[in-house]
Chain A
Amino acid sequence: MSSTPHTGPGVAPLGNVAMCLSTLRRAITRPAHLPGIVVFYGPSGYGKSTAATVATIHCDAVYVQARSSWTRKAAHQAILKGLGVLPAKTVAEMSDQIAEELALSKRPLIVDEVDYLVERGTIEIIRDLYEASQAPVMLIGEEGLPGKLKRWERFHGRVLDWAPAQPASLEDCKSLAELHAVKVRIADDLLAQVHDVAGGSVRRICVNIARIEEQAQVEGRDVMDLASWGSRELYTGEAPSRRRNA
C-alpha cells in the first residue's frame, strides 16, 4: 500500500482518506481482465465515512448506505435514488436499470455498512450489479467483513483489493488539529497525549481537539500545551469509572 497521499488541495491529508481514494482509483483504472470490487474495512471511529466522502466526491461515485431493514427491493430503490433514475416496478427491472446506468455513466458504486447485506444474505445483489455492469464497486464495512465475505466464495474471487483502515497516526492527529482547531494552537506534547488516549480513533481525536479548543477559549489562551492542560481529563471513549470517595 503506497502511503503517499496523492490527494488534491482541500482534502484532509489523513492516511485513511488517501488509502480509500487510491484503492477506489485502482478499481477504476484496473486492466479489463482484473476484477473490479474493492473492500475497505475497519473498526468504527477510524474515519471511514470521511474517507468514503472524499472518495465519492473525487471520483463522482454513487454512494449508498445499507440498512438493517433493506430488502432486495429497498436496496435497488436506494441505489436508483442515488443515481437519480426513476425506479421501475420489479426488482429485475430495477437491477437492469442500475446496471445500464452504471455501465453508461462509468461511475463507481460505493456501498457502506455492507455488513447488513452480508448478514441478511443479500450481498449477491451487489455481485449481480457488478457482473452486469462491470462498474468499479467499493464495499465498506466493519473489521470482520473479510471473514464474513469468505462464505460467499463467488464473491471472494472478484475482489481486487482488500484495504484495511489504519489507526490514526500522530501525523493524522496533527492534520486534524490544523483542520479543526482554528482558534487555538495545540502544542505537540498535548497532541501526542491526545493521540495516545485515542487508540487510533479519529472520532476521539476530534472530540478531544474540540474540548481543548473550548477550554482554551474559556481561559483566553492562544496556545494550549500539556503543562497548561494539566491533569484535566481527555475523552477516551470509555464509560466513566465509579467515583472514589476522597
Chain B
Amino acid sequence: MRTRGEGFAGSAVTRTIRLYGNWSKRNSWNRLELFSLKGTPKEFRVALLKALGLDVDEKGVYVTKDGNPVIDGYIDKPVRFENMAIFPGSTIVLDDNPLSIASYIEEHGEIS
C-alpha cells in the first residue's frame, strides 16, 4: 500500500543541510545529510517508522518499538511522534531538542 500526501504538495521539499566537524569514525559530519520531517504528512512518518522497525502508539503521540514507548535516554522522556529525530548507526531515536542533540553529538564524538 502506497502512502499518499495529498494536500502537502507545497511542503513536499526535502530539506537537507550539510554538517561539518567530527560525527563518528564511520560517519562524519561532512557526509551526513539531515532530512527535516517538519510538514511531512502523518502517513509518511508512520511509513518511515515502520520501515525502520518502529511505530507510533494508538493515540499518535509517542514513538514505539515492540509496542513500548521509545525513551530518549538523554532527557529520560518518551519520544514524541511530532518531534522525533532518528540517527543512523543503531537507529537511535531521540526527542528533537537541543539538549538531546548536544548530548548525542558529544557522546558520538568520543568514538573518534
The reply to whether chain A is a binding partner of chain B is: no
Chain A residues with a Cβ under 8 A of chain B? none
